[in-house]
């Protein structure tokens, strides 16, 4: 669990589950027009070998926005938001970041929100392991928060490069 404290008061905290090492993955990413919502990645290379981390950022229509690669030295880590290098995506982006690596990496994704009081709030986002393929059968989202200021947003991310179909039932 990590948290953000402002003026001695805990403003936000998020729990990060343990992460198996993966060599390919996909995360949902967003930077709203005002820049108050952003997505960040923290990537750890726990091996002695340098990792070549290659990424492609794709918008909601499937168009490539940016691609690139970066070397992560052995036993090192990097972290940045989508509006920072090496990604440098402009405000108003909604899509995915897909990555591959020559060695297994630990990857977490974070969603940040700067609220009306200028508090920097964070939560974790899932990182899809692309080696596992698409889920089949019934999938359940175990918690919804609705009302009295709470809301839930569901975003479906395709873990394959082919069209997927299904039914969402509430």
CB 164 within 8 A of CB 158: yes
Please state, in angstroms and rounded to a whole number, the distance separating the CA atoms of residues 133 and 98.
Answer: 14
**pLDDT 10s per residue in the chain (170 long)?**
989 898 999 999 998 888 899 999 999 999 999 999 999 999 999 999 999 999 999 999 999 999 999 999 999 999 999 999 999 999 999 999 999 999 999 999 999 999 999 999 999 999 999 998 888 888 888 888 888 888 888 888 889 888 888 888 88
Using a 10 angstrom Cβ sphere, with 0-12 exposed, 13-18 middle and 19 or more buried, the burial of residue 103 is middle
Q: SS in 3 state form for 71-86?
A: EECCCEEEEEECCCCC
Please state, in angstroms and rounded to a whole number, the distance separating the CA atoms of residues 147 and 153.
Answer: 13
Q: Pull the structure tokens for residue 34.
A: 């005002």
């Amino acid at each position: 669990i990590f948290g953000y404290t402002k003026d001695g008061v805990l403003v936000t905290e998020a729990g990060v589950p343990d992460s198996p090492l993966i060599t390919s993955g996909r995360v949902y990413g967003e930077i709203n027009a005002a820049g108050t919502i952003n997505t960040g990645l923290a990537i750890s290379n726990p091996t002695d070998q340098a990792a070549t981390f290659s990424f492609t950022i794709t918008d909601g229509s499937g168009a490539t926005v940016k691609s690139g690669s970066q070397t992560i030295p052995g036993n090192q880590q990097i972290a940045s938001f989508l509006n920072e290098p090496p990604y440098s995506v402009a405000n108003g982006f909604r899509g995915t970041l897909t990555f591959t690596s020559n060695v297994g990496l630990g990857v977490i994704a974070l969603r940040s929100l700067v609220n009306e009081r200028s508090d920097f709030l964070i939560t974790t986002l899932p990182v899809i392991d692309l080696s596992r393929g698409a889920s089949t059968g019934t999938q359940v989202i175990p918690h919804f928060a609705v009302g009295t200021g709470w809301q839930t947003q569901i975003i479906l991310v395709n873990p394959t490069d082919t069209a997927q179909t299904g039914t969402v039932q509430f």
